[in-house]
Amino acid sequence: MKRLIVASIAALGLANSFSSATLGIAHGSEPMAPPTLVTVDEMSQAGLRRAWDSHVQLDASHGRLVEMQLVVDTKRTTTKYVVQYGGLPVTQEVEVVVDGVVETVTESRIIGAQREVFSELDLGPRGTPYGIDGAKAAADLRVEILAAEGKTAEVIEEVNPRITFFALTDQYVLQAFDGESGQSLWSTRVGPRGSFPLPFAATSDHVVVVNGMQIFCLDALTGTELWNRKASHAPGSGPAITSWFVYLPMLRGQVEVFPLHRGDGLPEPIVFGGRVMQAPVLVGNEVAWINNQNTLFIAPVGAKVNRDEFRVRFDEPISTQIGTDGDRAIYCGTAEGALYSISANQGALLWKQSLSYALRQTPSCIGSDVFVVTIDGSLHVLRDATGIARWRAPHIKQFVSATDKHVYALNTTGQLEVLNRATGLREAEIDVPLDTVALPNVQTDRLYLATPQGRLICLHESESPKSVLHSGEVLEPNRGEESDDTVVPVRPTRPEVPAAPTRDPDDVFGFGR
């Protein structure tokens, strides 16, 4: 069950993180000034750069950051044109994981190149956004100017998804940040303060927050409240959102399903035995949850409420929030140290792996790897298809993120560790505050770190100036409705010189008639 741990992370040396990051704080402790999370020298030595840093709107003497979530919207894209010039080409051999197999590949890249970015959202000479075509014209003009200076440049088109980083405090202040730039998009208080914080659910269009027995639905783009309503019973955990409904587990032993697009629709309960103390998760076209009787329920989602289709009973208690690969598999870890992979569309066992210790963190799946942290402080990397162990790293308390080459994790002694993804060998360490926690990021290659006092920082590898989607989805420019006047002229034009006036020979003094 995702919950706020009333203890100091510094003392326990752990971060209880499930579908999103939950920060453990010692309430009543003396507030401290936000420390510098990572120094520039340490980042450079580890091959990392700061994408942005920011701060959640809270009073550090009273409020604490309790939860973070990341939403990647591949339908609302932003097109940028990068003018790149200079730099030195280099070639090197690196080990990468391809479909679960370690391969050595030759990589060519340019280091030290200059980059100038022209976005469709940038303002043109007339004070209006360039648009896609205007940004391309501005980039092409910059290439011409560089050519006149004797520099060779190229234009690279980048289509970026809309990435939103959400942060919730224990005072029920919800704030949204641009996941690429760190810009604060909006901030709002969701209901009165004082209730025990429950996990919230977020999609590209909606955010649903449960405060006590009140349910709030917000517009994810603006933070505007769309509706709020009172639950019929006490919720047991946070909700899950599908395209049509909000699934909210209740303490009395049922999941109530509310219409997402209207606040006055009657809830429809899905009744079963036991209590649900964890937020449901979405797996492809299914929604899954577990109860305190160690039973996994799987129900299909759609435009109507469907009862559970599969039930899977476990002999041991489930130790953490269930995880998923987002498409077909559900991961359940038991208190005896076993990890199960269950098919979401069949309810059948795919594989079982013994890890000897119970899970500390929700399993995270990226590509062909499943990352699992156990309570003995070990990071296990398993093959998604078979559950076979690839490697194990000791003294880890939380998985952070992964790229093709590296795995990033927080260890138990206050460092951000950089591990080789192919072998698990430690390549670098960066000192961070001991109470630092991370958002386990399975969607992009970015590293999102935070302190309980609300300090946020986003890091990326030096070679990846833009976010890399683990899904590998090909993004298309979002042109919307085209019109003839959307392109802003960017090329300066020389004003016409008026012709010299002809002088009237009879006008002696030049005054004209």
Are β-strands 225-230 and 240-241 bridged in parallel, bridged antiparallel, or unpaired?
Answer: unpaired
Q: How far, in Å, are 96, 144, 328, 330, 472 from residue 365 at the CA level?
A: 17, 45, 11, 10, 14
Residue in this structure with the two tokens 């799946």, named with its chain if needed? 365
- The span from the CA of 22 to the CA of 34, in Å, is 18
At 461, list the tokens. 């590898």
CA distance 251 to 197: 15
The better pLDDT of the pair 33, 135 is held by: 135
Q: Identify the pLDDT of residue 366.
A: 96
- The per-residue pLDDT for 106 is 74
pLDDT at 22 over 60: no
CA–CA distance, 134 with 123 (Å, rounded to integer): 10
C-alpha pair distances (Å), 486 with each of 79, 130, 205, 492: 15, 8, 26, 18
* pLDDT higher than 60, residue 504: no
pLDDT for 40: 81
β partners of residue 83: 116, 155
Are 390 and 421 a contacting pair, CB within 8 Å?
Answer: no
CA-to-CA distance for 477 and 469, rounded, in angstroms? Answer: 16
Is the pTM higher than 0.85? no
Q: Per-residue confidence at 375, pLDDT binned at 50, 70, 90?
A: very high
SS3 assignment, position 30: coil
Residue 465 and residue 115 in contact, taking contact as beta carbons nearer than 8 Å: yes
Higher-pLDDT residue of 499 and 7 is 499
When comparing pLDDT for 120 and 36, which is higher? 120
In whole angstroms, what is the distance from residue 246 CA to residue 239 CA?
Answer: 7
User: Reading across the β-sheet that carries 281-283, which strands appear in turn?
Assistant: 281-283, 286-290, 295-300, 310-313
Q: Checking phi first, is residue 399 left (phi over 0); if not, alpha (psi -120 to 50) or beta?
A: beta
Say which range, 3-7, 78-82, 120-124, 468-472, has the weakest mean pLDDT: 3-7
pLDDT digits (tens, 9 = 90+) for 399-416: 999 999 999 999 999 899
Residue with tokens 């690279």: 156
Distance CA 332, CA 47 (A): 34
On the CB side of 475, CA atoms within 13 Å amount to 23
Q: What is the number of other CB atoms lying within 10 angstroms of the CB of residue 394? A: 12
Q: Which 3-state string (H, E, C) describes 206-262?
A: EEEEEECCEEEEEECCCCCEEEEEECCCCECCCCEECCCEEEEEECCCEEEEEECCC
Residue 87 banded pLDDT, cuts 50, 70, 90 = confident
Exposure class string for 346-358: b at 16+ Cβ within 10 A, else e: ebeebbebebebb
Other CB atoms closer than 10 Å to residue 10's CB: what's the count?
A: 15
Residue 393 has pLDDT above 90, yes or no: yes
Task: Please give the average per-residue pLDDT across 227-236, as a whole number.
Answer: 91
The pLDDT of residue 510 is 46
The amino acid at residue 316 is: E
pLDDT of residue 120: 93
Kindly report which listed range (5-14, 80-89, 433-442) carries the lowest average pLDDT score: 5-14
The predicted model gives 76-83 an average pLDDT of: 93
Return the DSSP state at 145: H
Q: Which residue bears the tokens 């030759």?
A: 106
The 10s digit of each residue's pLDDT in 276-321 is: 888 999 999 999 999 989 999 999 998 999 988 999 999 989 888 8
Question: What residue type is assigned to position 190 of the chain?
Answer: V
Three-state SS at 77: strand
For residues 71-99, one letter each, b for 16 or more C-beta atoms within 10 angstroms of the residue's C-beta and e for the rest, the string is bbbbeebbbbbbbbbeeeeeeeeeeebee
Exposure of 182 in the CB half-sphere (CA atoms within 13 A):
17
Average pLDDT over residues 317-331: 91
Q: In whole angstroms, give the CA distance from residue 196 to residue 170.
A: 8
- Using left for φ > 0, alpha for ψ between -120 and 50, and beta otherwise, residue 213 falls in alpha
- 3-class state of residue 185 by DSSP: strand
The residues that bridge with 349 in the sheet, in sequence order, are 342
Distance CA 61, CA 45 (A): 35
Predicted confidence at residue 439, as pLDDT, reads: 96
**Model pLDDT, residue 3:** 37
Which of 69-78, 92-101, 315-324, 409-418 shows the lowest per-residue confidence on average (mean pLDDT)?
92-101
Domains in the chain: boundaries: 77-160
The distance from CA 103 to its chain's CA centroid, rounded to whole angstroms, is: 28
Q: Write the secondary structure of 268-328 as one string of H (helix), E (strand) and C (coil).
A: EEEECCCCCCCCCEEECCEEEEECCCCEEEEEECCCCCCCCCEEEECCCCECCCCEECCCC
Cα separation of 368 and 62, whole Å? 42
Place of tokens 């698990």: 424
Distance in angstroms (rounded) separating the CA atoms of residues 280 and 249: 8
